[in-house]
Chains A and B, each alone.
Chain A
Amino acid sequence: MKTSRFIELLSADVQPVRRGTVGKTLVLALVIGAAAAFGLMLVTVGLRPDLFEGTGSMLLAIKLLFTMSLIGIGTLFVVAASHPGRNARRRLALTILPFLAIASLGLGAILLATPMNRHDMVFGQEWLTCLVCIPLLAIAPFAALIWALRKAAPTDLRRAGAGAGLVAAALGATAYAFHCPGDSLPFIAIWYGLPILLWTLLGAMLGPRLLRW
């Protein structure tokens, strides 16, 4: 077909476009993903009974600070990645800050602790549950974010996928924090950081397949 004829076809029926649809779709995806992750956490592992008592509540705050800051930065990145022509790389680089913060806190805590306690600090209770649950809780948010990204126009599929994986895993970790009995900084650094990093990598691998348009 001749391109001039093609242009006539495209412009024959132009519907007005509403503004801000990309942002709205992303917010919807985040809400659905968060609700799904939290609901799944409630029906499977359940809330931690002593959630708001003792040192656990303070560590819950740190866990949430870590995961929520990742969600925040990651979402800003995904928004930029949804719009062609915006430089989003710097925002993705910013996500390293929460990781550095929690890693240095964890390392400091290990160094200050007596050697006797170090093993318990790192492995705590249920580190394996943590490692299994966070990635599983991230599946629904990831699907929702991919759905939203497919409606937008990501031009760097690998990074967009990585961003979706990161935010999804951080959402899963946020939900899991309300169950998690692990009460130490190194525990958070390792068993929260690791699944989130893994999901980021997985997202980067899946991005080019799932997001092509």
Chain B
Amino acid sequence: MVEGLKGDAPAYKALLSKLSGHLRAYFRGRLVRMGRGVVEAEDLVQEALIGLHTRRHTYDPSQPFTPWAYAIARYKLLDHLRRTKVSFRGLPIEDAEELIAHDDLSEAESAFDLQNLLTRISPKMRQAIQYVKLDGLSVSEAAARSGMSESAIKVSVHRGMKALALLIAKGKPT
């Protein structure tokens, strides 16, 4: 950092790269524990790097570096959490009618999405899931209708659910 403050670009770059790794681990650790995403953590890494960069004149070389950098990272994390919380509070409480004023077919849409996903797994799994999970048949009924054994149905449902979960996870931006 001391070299960076003097204007040594390669040293400064090396410092920022090393710091970004620590920052990423710190933000991911904190955010994931709160059930938030990895994208948010990456945004925060860059946010904190800007903070460190633009406020680097507040670092006193006679003091240890880590507490200084940590204080900025912590500030950026708290600021981010506060801001994202405020955006929820921004919903006016008087708008109770709004809940019933509009109807939405998103349930149909998400079912449509599921149909979409089902086309992307093997026909055997698709059929098993369709019977057991969607149509609500018992395993033995599904076995009788599809001509597969009960254990084959169970295995297909299990594998199919796994495959679907994987597809959903992939569908999300990471």
Contact = CB atoms under 8 A, between A and B. Distances in A.
A21 B54 CA distance: 13
A64 B145 CA distance: 95
Interface residues of B, number: 38
A22 interface: yes
B162 to A, nearest CB: 31
A13 B59 CA distance: 18
A19 interface: yes
A212 B79 contact: yes
Contacts of B74: 155
Interface in B50-75: 50-51, 53, 55-61, 63-64, 67-72, 74-75
Given A22-B57, A84-B55, A153 B72 contact: yes
B91 to A, nearest CB: 21
A155 B56 CA distance: 14
Q: What's the dominant secondary structure at chain A's contact region?
A: loop
A83 B60 contact: yes
Contacts of B149: none
Contacts of B45: 3
Interface stretch (A4-12, A102-110, A116-124, A161-169): A4-12
Q: Which of A3, A8, A152 has the most CB of B within 10 A?
A: A3
Contacts of A86: 63, 67
A10 B72 contact: no
A15 B56 CA distance: 11
A16 B53 contact: no
Nearest to B19: A7
Given A14-B7, A14-B12, A212-B79, A152 B55 contact: yes
A11 B5 contact: no
Contacts of A90: none
Given A1-B46, A85-B63, A155-B75, A213 B58 contact: no
Contacts of B71: 84-85, 155
A155 to B, nearest CB: 4
Interface string B1-39: 000111111101100110010001000000000000000
Contacts of B68: 83-85
Interface string A75-97: 00000001111100000000000
A19 B7 CA distance: 13
Nearest 5 pairs between A and B by C-beta? Answer: A84-B71, A85-B67, A16-B7, A11-B13, A153-B55
Interface of B: 4-10, 12-13, 16-17, 20, 24, 42, 45-46, 49-51, 53, 55-61, 63-64, 67-72, 74-75, 79
Interface of A: 1, 3-4, 6-8, 10-19, 21-22, 82-86, 152-153, 155, 212-213
23 contacts: A3-B46, A10-B16, A11-B10, A11-B12, A14-B9, A17-B5, A17-B56, A19-B61, A22-B58, A83-B59, A83-B60, A83-B63, A83-B68, A84-B55, A84-B72, A84-B75, A85-B64, A85-B67, A86-B63, A152-B55, A152-B58, A153-B72, A213-B55
